[in-house]
Chains A and B, each alone.
Chain A
Amino acid sequence: MRSRRFESRDRRELRREPLVSPFPELGLVAADGPRDPLPELVVEDGIVTRLDGRAADEFDVIDRFVVAHGLDLEVAEEAMQLPDTELARMLVDIDVARAELVRLARGLTPAKLACVVGLLDPVELMLALKKLRARRAPSNQAHVTNLKESPALLAADAAEAARRGFAEIETTVGVARYAPLNALALLVGSQTGRPGVMTQCAVEERRNLELAIRGLVTYAETLSVYGTEPVFVDGDDTPWSKAFLGSAYASRGVKVRFTSGTGSEALMGHAQGLSMLYLEARCLAAVRAAGSQGVQNGSISCVALVLSVPGGTRAILGENVIAAWLDLEVASGNDAIASHSEIRKTAKLMGQFLPGTDFVTSGYSVMPRHDNTFGGGNFDADDIDEWLTVQRDWKVDAGIEPVREDEVLGVRERAARAVQVVFDELGLPPVTDDEVAAATSAYDSGDMPDRDRAADVGAADELLARGVCGLDVALALDRRGFEDVAEAVLSMQRQRVSADYLQTAAVIDADGVVHSAVNDPNVYGGPGTGYRLEGDRWELLQALPSVVDPSELLGDLATGRAIVVENGEAARGSDPAEVVVAVGPAFADGIRRTIGDLDHGQVIEAIRAGIREGGGVPRLVRVAGVADLAFIGHVGAGLSGSGVALGLQSKGTAVIHRADLEPLDNLELFGMSPLYTLESYRAMGLNASGYALGRRVGPVPTELDNFARAKLIVRTTLLHARETAAVRPEAPPVELELAEPGSS
């Protein structure tokens, strides 16, 4: 037998991805693997003779490299003798400065780093990350790609990403030869959107270096490292080759960020039975030793593998913490798809989103994920409003800014035009007006006209052969009236001369000023310190385009032809069949429709019809002295000849009351006002009549909409405020008559 509920859950998106029990032999264990070595460092005569369970003659290339270039033996003795728990507590102690923790980390072995961070629970990890982040303010990185490699669309998306506040934008290629064109489109688009945004084109190293030398890109994060020697070698590198490459990039003015992440060693079959977190600690020690200013980590492309094992999400946050502790800039993943489940994906994100990292994602997909040729798109174009709303909800800056639709359209159009003129000036295959128009409003590359791709790649080869560089791009823009974009492109060239952005966690603001961990460091030391989302920035991040002014949500007080006329103070009735319909202070006056959009006059007609159908005699009364439904109903009941009244608030909520009940008691309450129809109100009248005449009464059938509250609670609040404002405490209840149509 199957439970219908288990069957239903089996069909949820979550269940499309497997969860597995730990399998340490294959490295399928998040942290604290049974074969992870105990932290160990033995130094004899200034030479490291043992490291994390290995003697010097057993050191692999990673051990050797970390010993030669990473471990600071002047700090090691002091740092390694600190108990794990003491170090763990220092990580979350707001009175222990980041600088002190970073100093100690220089002397810690990978196993020690993994053990200490392994002691922290998720909230402690978040606090540690908040404290250890390198740069004062968090930021974010975007992915901009599309399946057609359309230059107009790339430029438009890059411009939108830049305008939305992304500090870095990354593209790649489906076809390798496109690289110079994609890098060009990204450069022009990004600088149209916001001067100072850094760009990269993730391609093979030789090509990447060439693009950098031409000034078409400013950073690279393609330098992958791994935690075991066999995987490192399978990746066709060693720590020395990667470190050399990093220096080579820097020599050409390229900001370099390495890439690592839990799960890659298991995926590549050589985890050596070690836990994901321990292996990542080895990667990070090597990244720091190689002289990289930062790292893209947080499992990255293997995230779904790490999430398959217990504690995977926590381990990923742990690896971000280790990277930050090692004083590295952290671009913290959240780019590859982590889960089919929106709940699970978002829950994982909070680990980086709430504390803030140097780049909260390593690539937010500005376009729909099916155009993301990285295979990323964990969060994409369709999720932007959710991201912005969650920032607003938590009062957290996760690096994306709200932008109005007209502004987005404007900047996209301008970027597409800019790339059009650059292609024209540089003699590249033309970008047509149709392409510009399509790129401006496109959802995805399916909206873009097809291009002659053979001509494009041919032109791309030729572009490189001709030696076209960033200066040519600036000149082309300048000649064709895009002087501000030309200035921004030139400013990025100027940045390469001063090379300030090679320092840790550097980003460039719109005025061309570099902000890095050197001149704008994170100095968080508890509440009231460090980066706080406040002032203009908080104003900006809360002002989403969809936000409405509550005073405008309801419109002005209703006016126009009278629905009811008042007819003197109401007295107690004597007819035992009488049912009073008691309405609130603003009913059919300042408010004239229910929250379910029913006309108040028609609602009264329906209720009266129901009362009459049940044999009762309706009488309409306004209770002006109170806005609370229970009291409106109870006052009405006190006036009713039968002692029964139907109380009705202006928003449509109703109650059947009787004079002998306590005010907050009732016979029936109708709280689902958005769902009621005129038929519902007729049935309420019928029931009220039944109570008045002593008949047996079954409850009025009502529907349940659990989302009504989420949808309408703001309107409810505003309507009730208007009702409350109409209260005249001293005013007695008055008789009401429905106005004749045509009367005033």
Chain B
Amino acid sequence: MRTDFDPTQDYPLGTRRPDLVSTPGGLTLGEVTLDSLRRGRLEPADIRATPETLRLQAEVARAAGRAPLAESLERAAELATVPEELLLAVYTALRPRRATLAELEEWAARLEGHGAHGTAEFVREAAVAYAERGLLAGA
């Protein structure tokens, strides 16, 4: 965590702390301009929040007393670099009676492979609940 960041004072990041925000390609907010676009310097991949930015937003939410929102944003930070297809596959697996216990564990491991440890634990926690409530595949 950056020591110069105060989650109770530095929000909105875009207007109060643009220095803390950059695109995945390393552009500053101030470089996301029409002029850059005209010069071909903006890529679609630049137009999203980095994991670091999402973690800062999670800190803002936590400092405002919103722990569950902060946890969701922390998962979002982990998922920011997870490919879309994996996101959608994990979502599908988490739907009722789609996956076995072993399959959910596999998806959790895949997430861990992308560094999404917290989200992987979240999937494992779901698997336990599904097992007890008959929501696993074949149940």
> Contact between B49 and A253 (Cβ–Cβ < 8 Å)?
yes
Across the interface, which residues of B come within 8 angstroms of A241, CB to CB? 91, 94-96, 126
> Contact between A247 and B49 (Cβ–Cβ < 8 Å)?
no
Q: A494-B14, A499-B53 are in contact. Are A240 and B94 (CB under 8 A)?
A: yes
- Interchain pairs with CB closer than 8 A, number: 207
Across the interface, which residues of B come within 8 angstroms of A512, CB to CB? 14-15
CB nearest to A229 among chain B residues:
B133
Q: Does B44 contact A (CB under 8 A)?
A: yes
A278 to B57, CA, bound (A): 32
CB nearest to B125 among chain A residues:
A68
B34 CB → nearest A CB, Å? 6
Q: A61-B129, A469-B47 are in contact. Are A475 and B37 (CB under 8 A)?
A: yes
B133 CB → nearest A CB, Å? 5
Q: Which of A248, A252, A503 contacts B91 (CB 8 A)?
A: A248
> Contact between A498 and B33 (Cβ–Cβ < 8 Å)?
no
Chain B residues within 8 Å of chain A by Cβ, number: 62
CB nearest to B71 among chain A residues:
A291
Q: A209-B87, A498-B21, A499-B57 are in contact. Are A247 and B75 (CB under 8 A)?
A: yes
> Contact between A483 and B34 (Cβ–Cβ < 8 Å)?
yes
Q: List 18 A-B contacts (CB under 8 A).
A: A61-B130, A68-B125, A69-B71, A205-B91, A236-B95, A237-B95, A237-B96, A238-B126, A241-B95, A243-B72, A248-B76, A250-B72, A251-B87, A467-B44, A478-B38, A497-B32, A498-B29, A513-B15
Q: Which of B18, B38, B65, B129 contacts A102 (CB 8 A)?
A: B65
Across the interface, which residues of A come within 8 angstroms of B113, CB to CB? none
Across the interface, which residues of B come within 8 angstroms of A498, CB to CB? 12-14, 18, 21, 29, 49, 53
> Contact between A497 and B21 (Cβ–Cβ < 8 Å)?
yes
Q: Does A609 contact B (CB under 8 A)?
A: no
Write out, one digit per residue, whether chain B residues 21-34 have a CB within 8 A of any chain A CB (1) or not (0).
Answer: 11100000100111
Across the interface, which residues of B come within 8 angstroms of A659, CB to CB? none
Q: A240-B122, A288-B68, A498-B14 are in contact. Are A250 and B91 (CB under 8 A)?
A: no
> Contact between B76 and A233 (Cβ–Cβ < 8 Å)?
no
A475 CB → nearest B CB, Å? 6
A61 to B128, CA, bound (A): 11
CB nearest to A247 among chain B residues:
B75
> Contact between B119 and A247 (Cβ–Cβ < 8 Å)?
yes
CB nearest to B61 among chain A residues:
A503
> Contact between B11 and A518 (Cβ–Cβ < 8 Å)?
yes
Q: Which of A236, A293, A500 contacts B12 (CB 8 A)?
A: A500
Across the interface, which residues of B come within 8 angstroms of A495, CB to CB? 14
Interface of B is mostly: helix
Q: Does A244 contact B (CB under 8 A)?
A: yes
> Contact between A240 and B88 (Cβ–Cβ < 8 Å)?
no
In which size bucket is the chain A interface? 35 or more
> Contact between B87 and A519 (Cβ–Cβ < 8 Å)?
no
> Contact between B96 and A233 (Cβ–Cβ < 8 Å)?
yes
CB nearest to A479 among chain B residues:
B38
Q: A475-B37, A494-B32, A502-B57 are in contact. Are A290 and B76 (CB under 8 A)?
A: no
Across the interface, which residues of B come within 8 angstroms of A493, CB to CB? 32, 47
Since A238-B129, A514-B15 are in contact, a sample of 13 more A-B pairs with Cβ atoms closer than 8 Å, ordered by chain A residue number, is A69-B68, A205-B91, A233-B96, A247-B75, A248-B79, A251-B75, A253-B48, A292-B69, A293-B66, A469-B47, A474-B34, A513-B15, A518-B60
> Contact between A246 and B72 (Cβ–Cβ < 8 Å)?
yes
Q: Which residues of A contact B (CB under 8 A)?
A: 60-61, 64-65, 68-70, 72, 99, 102-103, 106, 205-206, 209-210, 213-215, 229, 233, 236-238, 240-241, 243-253, 288-293, 327, 467, 469-471, 474-475, 478, 483, 486-487, 490, 493-500, 502-504, 512-514, 516-519
> Contact between A209 and B129 (Cβ–Cβ < 8 Å)?
no
CB nearest to B68 among chain A residues:
A291
A44 to B84, CA, bound (A): 41
> Contact between A291 and B69 (Cβ–Cβ < 8 Å)?
yes
> Contact between A248 and B13 (Cβ–Cβ < 8 Å)?
no
Across the interface, which residues of B come within 8 angstroms of A106, CB to CB? 67
Q: Which residues of B contact A (CB under 8 A)?
A: 11-15, 18, 21-23, 29, 32-34, 37-38, 42, 44, 46-49, 53-54, 57, 60-61, 64-73, 75-80, 82, 84, 87-88, 90-91, 94-97, 119, 122-123, 125-126, 129-130, 132-133, 135
> Contact between B82 and A61 (Cβ–Cβ < 8 Å)?
no
Across the interface, which residues of B come within 8 angstroms of A504, CB to CB? 61, 64, 66, 69
B55 CB → nearest A CB, Å? 10
Q: A61-B133, A247-B79 are in contact. Are A513 and B12 (CB under 8 A)?
A: yes
> Contact between B72 and A292 (Cβ–Cβ < 8 Å)?
yes
CB nearest to A99 among chain B residues:
B65
A258 to B1, CA, bound (A): 30
Across the interface, which residues of A come within 8 angstroms of B78, CB to CB? 251
Across the interface, which residues of B come within 8 angstroms of A209, CB to CB? 84, 87-88
> Contact between B48 and A327 (Cβ–Cβ < 8 Å)?
no
A241 CB → nearest B CB, Å? 4
Q: Which of A248, A475, A496 contacts B38 (CB 8 A)?
A: A475
Closest CB pairs A-B (n = 9): A291-B72, A498-B14, A240-B126, A250-B76, A247-B75, A241-B94, A251-B79, A500-B12, A499-B49
Across the interface, which residues of B come within 8 angstroms of A478, CB to CB? 34, 37-38
A130 CB → nearest B CB, Å? 20
B102 CB → nearest A CB, Å? 17
A261 to B65, CA, bound (A): 25
Q: A61-B129, A290-B68 are in contact. Are A244 and B34 (CB under 8 A)?
A: no
> Contact between A500 and B135 (Cβ–Cβ < 8 Å)?
no
